[in-house]
Amino acid sequence: KAEVPAPAATVVQAVSAPATAVVPAPEAATPPAARLPAAARVVAVGDVHGDLAAFRRALRTGGVLDASDRWIGAETVVVQTGDVLDRGDDEREIMELIARLEPAAASAGGRLIVLNGNHELMNAQLDLRYVTEGGAADWAVAGAAPRSPQGAQVPELLRGRAAAFEPGGPWARRLAGQNMVQVVGETVFLHGGLEPRWARQDPDGLNQAVQRWLRGDAPQPPEAAVAQDGPVWSRRFSEGEEGGMCAALEEALGAVGAKRMVVGHTVQRGGITSACGGRIWRIDTGMARFYGGPTEVLEIRGEEVQVLKASPE
């Protein structure tokens, strides 16, 4: 995964004229507080990249979704660590399934928490390099009119998507209902990795700065959304244990007040891995069709952490 942050020149500047002819989005959820109390059972799901079948397999492996796409997780808290978007054709179906499952999980006493990854924020910046043909078609609307100068310059097939995901657009507002950093009990979840300089900042403040931009209330993304060492881009804790990585991890965990970190973003070709005595868990298994990796999720019950693997089909 060789993506790089979009250069400053591609930052979307929203203007006041409303977008027209855009695919309607599910109503944005209210983002949870960045810090939630411990749950008896937490299931963490990594990158799904536009593959609905992989997302369903992951949720079923975690025991929270039945064959009819109904929530059966009771009070389980599910955290999906971002990158629903790009590389696959089923993004809209996944986002609509998430919108149906969120209230069902809440009614049962559980939660489905979906975080923003780098690909969600890239789409908001109109960095559409990784959109598939099917992913473009899902948001293709005749006469779609992005509000920004950058959006007006994208190819015609992508203008509906640009209007949907540029800051202030209906699907960007949907993303503004998601956090970037989420602490549940003693575990911090995010897409890339929480390096010490970001861990020392208030996670609610980090989340809210990104959400303001996605709603169109700020003219450009905050540094946390685009920095190479930022929460959605960092790979420092995902590749070996070299270069003082475990010491930096300890510093970050101490600053944020957590015992472990769970991240996606960097494909672990053999399945979920951990390092530094179980203080970091890397859950991007490349389960999406684009990569062809195994479907695995992480289950946390108090101090017990285990990998759940999908049954062979």
**Cα gap 312→20, rounded to integer Å:** 45
pLDDT band at 145 (very low <50, low <70, confident <90, very high): confident
pLDDT band at 130 (very low <50, low <70, confident <90, very high): very high
> Among residues 6, 227, 283, which one has the least CA distance to residue 119?
6
- The residue type of 272 is I
pLDDT band at 238 (very low <50, low <70, confident <90, very high): very high
**pTM: predicted TM-score of the whole model, two decimal places:** 0.94
Neighbours of 311 (CB within 10 A): 8
- Quick one: average pLDDT of 185-203? 98
* Token pair of 196 as six digits: 């010490």
> Among residues 28, 48, 139, which one has the least CA distance to residue 88?
48
pLDDT band at 32 (very low <50, low <70, confident <90, very high): very high
**Cα gap 84→91, rounded to integer Å:** 6
DSSP 1: -
* Token pair of 229 as six digits: 């060492």
Q: What is the pLDDT of residue 2?
A: 66
- Quick one: average pLDDT of 183-199? 98
4 conformational bin, left if phi > 0, alpha if psi -120 to 50, beta if neither: beta
- Quick one: average pLDDT of 15-25? 64
> Percent of the chain having pLDDT more than 70?
94
Is-catalytic flag, 119? yes
pLDDT band at 4 (very low <50, low <70, confident <90, very high): low
- Quick one: average pLDDT of 24-53? 96
- Long-range CB pairs of 146-152 (<8 Å, 24+ gap) are 146/19, 147/14, 147/15, 147/17, 147/18, 147/19, 148/12, 148/13, 148/14, 148/15, 149/13, 149/15, 150/10, 150/12, 150/13, 150/126, 151/12, 151/126
> Percent of the chain having pLDDT more than 90?
86
The mean predicted confidence, pLDDT, of the chain is: 93
More confident residue, 79 or 16: 79
Annotated active-site residue in 49, 119, 191, 265: 119
Q: Assess whether pLDDT exceeds 70 at residue 147.
A: yes
pLDDT band at 19 (very low <50, low <70, confident <90, very high): very low
Q: What is the pLDDT of residue 142?
A: 83
Q: What is the pLDDT of residue 313?
A: 64
